[in-house]
Copies of this chain bind each other. A is one copy, B any other.
Amino acid sequence: MTTVHHTSVPLTRTQKSAGHQASLIVQGADATGIVAALASLLSTHGANIVSLDQYSDNPQGGAFFQRTVFGLDGLQAAVPALRAGLDEHLVKKYGLRYTLRDMSVPKRVAIFVSKSDHCLLDLLWRHRQGQLPISVAMVVSNHPDVAEEVRGFGIPFFHVASAGPDKSAAEAEHLRLLKDNVDFVVLARYMQILSADFIEQVGVPIINIHHSFLPAFIGAGPYAKAKERGVKLVGATAHYVTADLDEGPIIEQDVVRVTHAQNTADLMHRGADVERAVLSRAVLWHAEDRIIRNGNHTIVFT
């Protein structure tokens, strides 16, 4: 979503008339004067910049990335004029793309899961604690195992079986559930491969947690491979899903120390701790518009 040309994310839901904050992500070819044009425009509308992060990957002819969070009384009413100004001063003049989003409206997410519940429960627990500014629209699984637990959190659970090599029926059902309902999808240890067609049709960012320190141990069974190779650290990687399996832009990674005395099951247990921590951070940063995709990389303003 962050790379969509003046995106259509609605600024319409629950916001009140005062004290709102919005995020503004801008990216494109770098040029002198962009920051000034942007800050000036916001100032003209009475916006107070709360946080600003800027990055240029090369001061001479590189790419420009900026995340601005600003407060503005009467944000909703001001949006049309703000968009008109951004179109005029950033898009037309500098050829930049932007995303403007009312941060008081949490992003809606669908969480996909198979049997392992550690990543799912960590997200649901953090959400309940108020640590994650998201709205969990649903949990979807190819197994019924976690249904009761999910519903205990007051969240809809959908079981969509996915047996056999032909995933088209399951994916059609997934699309019916997701279409226009969610802003992003999280694969919280969902052990099914998504088709390129599904990824394109769903049309929202998909975050996956891979249970290894990518690009080491790509594919299935990474902990067994790690044990076999005798590594001294195991890790996890959160990344955006693309049609290339395990090759999408990396959002976050971390590792934990293991020893010769730990077997593959132990590695899985230690690794699960890293998986849930890494995925939670990726979801938080995505929810707060801290991640900008640039080709197969991410800019993460933490």
| Chain A residues with a Cβ under 8 A of chain B | 30, 32-40, 42-43, 46-57, 59, 66, 71, 118, 121, 125, 129, 131, 152, 213-217, 229-233, 235, 249-255, 259-261, 269, 273, 277, 296-300
Contact = CB atoms under 8 A, between A and B. Distances in A.
A145 B232 CA distance: 33
Given A230-B298, A249-B230, A52 B35 contact: yes
A215 B214 contact: no
Contacts of A50: 56, 59
A46 B36 CA distance: 11
Given A55-B261, A213-B213, A229-B250, 13 more contacts: A32-B49, A35-B39, A51-B54, A118-B129, A121-B125, A131-B269, A231-B250, A232-B250, A233-B235, A235-B255, A260-B299, A260-B300, A273-B277
Interface SS of chain A: helix, strand, loop or mixed? mixed
Nearest to A259: B300
Nearest to A48: B32
Nearest to A30: B48
A87 B300 CA distance: 34
A122 to B, nearest CB: 9
A201 to B, nearest CB: 26
A249 B231 CA distance: 9
B52 A54 contact: yes
A255 B252 contact: no
10 contacts: A35-B42, A36-B39, A49-B56, A52-B53, A52-B54, A213-B233, A215-B229, A216-B216, A231-B250, A260-B300
Contacts of A118: 125, 129
A203 to B, nearest CB: 23
A146 B129 CA distance: 13
